[in-house]
């Protein structure tokens, strides 16, 4: 291995790709898209505000008033907790029953359709017996608003029941309290509080890894085919060994991917972090604290997985002359990458279960799933070690295989080779005369 030459190939692959407009467009479009997505989310949460004028048809006769004050109290509490925040302002309007209930409902329906009312609530004792109340509105998917209303009704009903049983109001207050479940991740070093930020970070890393295997793995395939169609490869092979060229390409393209992450992290730190922090503050999750071990495992499994898949893609590109010809076989690595994500829910729910152990040892799903396990649980050290060992061996084996196919394939033009032919290239050794087809030129 002549590293000077490998370096020259890496340099070319890297610079030529990083210099393209396409690279920078992709690099900035993804964060822009992500930020845009977050902005939309943010805006839609803020939009759940303003006045909600709701008619209350209270057939019990004594619930409408407590409900109105309950909602007002909750609104006040929220305003004190986060001053300046805009939320929903409920205006409850008691509505007498005119004639029978159906007639009243008809009337209210018209009021709602005429936009005079936002909606109406029916508190019917017969239904309340069955723990039901009815809320009619043009919009029934406003989850934030609906939840507020539901909680308020429950609280009022609870208090009402306690009063009927002749128990103290203080007990009512006690019963309303809910337990906040604090989650702590148990590790060998003790227990640390898991606010969800670490898991979110792990999932982001997982998504990045998944995407890279696809995008940059496929870039290897395209690069190999491009060199063939441009008829440049023979000129290069006269100076560089095929294995050196292959290695240089894989590393160069991988570095392009890493550059993209670097840009993304810089963008994230400068732009989106305040936005994320803002969202976190609104929600219950804490700011993401990413453990060093997660970053370490990410880099390790990213590199191993990338080399594994890049080798496969290279081997698949080498025998063919166009992307189309290679498409069919390119399905294989794609399916393998997807299969890693397919078992994701199972691994997430039971990070030390049978499926998780298998998926983190099977070389094609191992990079994604072993990384996930290290992030959400603490797998046994021997499993991590075994997974890395299996990955290393498979990567070495596949790289060797790819090298053999590559060596013969890059000089083959013309007819699309069949799979048995390609397999014969792997076994081919000079002196054995197993090479199947003559090159087109002689």
Partner 1 sequence: MTAAIELENVSKIFGKFPAVDSLSFRVPRGVVFGLLGPNGAGKTTTIRMIMNITAADSGEIRVLGNPMTRETQNRIGYLPEERGLYRKMKVLDHLLFLAAIKEVSREDARRRIGDWVEKLELKPWLKKKVDELSKGMQQKVQFIATVVHDPEILILDEPFSGLDPINTAIIKEYLSDFRQRGKTIVFSTHVLEQAEKLCDEICLLARSKKILEGNLRDLKRRFSKDMLHLAVDAEPSEIASLPGVATSQPVNGGYLVVLAPGMDQREFLRRTLERHPLRGFSAREPELEEIYLDAVKAAGMEETRTIE
Query: Which residue of 20, 82, 168, 418 would you call a contact of partner 1, by CB under 8 A?
Result: 20
List the structure tokens of 110.
């018209």
Query: Which string of b and e fits 349-374 if b means at least 16 CB within 10 Å?
Result: eebeeeebbebbbbbbbbbbbbbbbb
By rule CB under 8 A, what string of x and - marks binding of each residue 394-423 to partner 1? -----------------x-x----------
* DSSP code, position 136: E
Residue of the chain from 12, 53, 151, 222 that contacts partner 1 (CB under 8 A):
12
List the one residue from 101, 167, 232, 299 that touches partner 1 (CB under 8 A).
232
Q: Are 402 and 315 in contact (CB under 8 A)?
A: yes
What are the angstrom distances between the C-alpha of 306 and each of 329, 356, 409? Answer: 18, 21, 22
Stretch that binds partner 1, among 163-171, 172-180, 204-212, 233-241 (CB under 8 A): 233-241
Could you say whether residue 21 binds partner 1 (CB under 8 A)?
Answer: no
2 binds partner 1 (CB under 8 A): yes
Is residue 322 a contact point for partner 1 (CB under 8 A)?
no
437 binds partner 1 (CB under 8 A): yes
Burial environment of residue 409 by CB neighbours within 10 A (0 to 12, 13 to 18, 19 or more):
buried
Cα separation of 209 and 307, whole Å? 12
- Residue 239 vs 418, nearer CB to partner 1: 239
Residue 173: partners with Cβ closer than 8 Å, 6 or more residues away: none
| Residue 166 engages partner 1 in binding (rule: CB under 8 A) | no
181 near partner 1, judged by CB under 8 A: no
324 is a site residue for partner 1 (CB under 8 A): no
Ramachandran angles phi, psi of 49, nearest 5°: -150, 175
Are the C-beta atoms of residues 133 and 123 closer than 8 Å to each other? yes
| Cα gap 57→286, rounded to integer Å | 42
Pairing of strands 190-193, 184-187: antiparallel
Query: Which residue reads 């209303």 in tokens?
Result: 149
- Provide the minimum distance between the beta carbon of 221 and partner 1 in the complex, in angstroms, as a whole number: 17
Residue in 3, 11, 40, 295 binding partner 1, rule: CB under 8 A: 11
Q: Does 44 bind partner 1 (CB under 8 A)?
A: no
In whole angstroms, how close is the CB of 425 to partner 1 at the nearest point? 12
The one among 201, 236, 326, 375 contacting partner 1 by CB under 8 A: 236
Binding residues vs partner 1 (CB under 8 A): 2, 4-5, 8-9, 11-12, 15-16, 20, 227, 230-232, 234-240, 411, 413, 430-433, 435-439, 441-442
């Amino acid at each position: 291995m002549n590293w000077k030459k490998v370096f020259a190939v890496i340099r070319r692959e890297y610079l030529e790709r990083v210099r393209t407009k396409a690279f920078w467009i992709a690099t900035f479009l993804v964060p822009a898209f992500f930020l845009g997505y977050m902005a939309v989310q943010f805006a839609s949460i803020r939009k759940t505000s303003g006045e909600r004028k709701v008619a209350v048809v209270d057939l019990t006769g004594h619930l409408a008033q407590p409900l109105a004050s309950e909602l007002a109290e909750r609104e006040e509490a929220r305003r004190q907790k986060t001053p300046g925040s805009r939320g929903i302002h409920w205006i409850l309007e008691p509505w007498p029953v005119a004639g029978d209930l159906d007639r009243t409902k008809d009337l209210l329906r018209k009021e709602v359709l005429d936009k005079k009312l936002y909606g109406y609530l029916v508190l019917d004792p017969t239904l309340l017996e069955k723990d039901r109340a009815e809320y009619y509105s043009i919009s029934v998917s406003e989850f934030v608003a609906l939840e507020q209303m539901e909680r308020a009704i429950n609280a009022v009903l609870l208090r009402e029941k306690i009063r009927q049983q002749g128990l103290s109001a203080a007990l009512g207050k006690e019963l309303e309290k809910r337990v906040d479940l604090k989650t702590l991740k148990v590790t060998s070093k003790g227990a640390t509080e898991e606010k969800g930020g670490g898991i979110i970070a792990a999932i982001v890393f997982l998504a990045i890894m998944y995407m890279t295997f696809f995008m940059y793995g496929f870039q290897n395939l395209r690069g190999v085919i491009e060199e063939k169609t441009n008829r440049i490869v023979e000129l290069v092979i006269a100076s560089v060994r095929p294995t050196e060229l292959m290695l240089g390409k894989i590393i160069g393209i991988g570095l392009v991917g890493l550059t993209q992450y670097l840009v993304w992290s810089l963008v994230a730190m400068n732009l989106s972090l305040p936005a994320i922090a803002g969202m976190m503050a609104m929600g219950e999750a804490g700011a993401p604290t990413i453990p060093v071990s997660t970053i370490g495992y990410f880099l390790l499994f990213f590199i191993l997985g990338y080399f594994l898949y890049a080798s496969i893609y290279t081997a698949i590109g080498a025998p063919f002359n166009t992307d189309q010809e290679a498409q069919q076989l390119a399905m294989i690595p794609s399916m393998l990458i997807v299969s890693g994500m397919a078992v994701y829910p199972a691994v997430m729910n039971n990070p030390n279960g049978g499926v998780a152990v298998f998926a983190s040892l099977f070389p094609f799903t191992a990079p994604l799933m072993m990384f996930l396990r290290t992030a959400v649980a603490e797998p046994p050290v021997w499993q991590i070690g075994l997974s890395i060992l299996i990955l290393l061996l498979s990567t070495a084996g596949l790289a060797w295989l790819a090298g053999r196919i590559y060596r013969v394939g890059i000089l083959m033009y013309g007819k699309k080779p069949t799979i048995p032919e390609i397999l014969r290239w792997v076994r081919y050794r000079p002196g054995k005369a197993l090479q199947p087809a003559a090159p087109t030129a002689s």
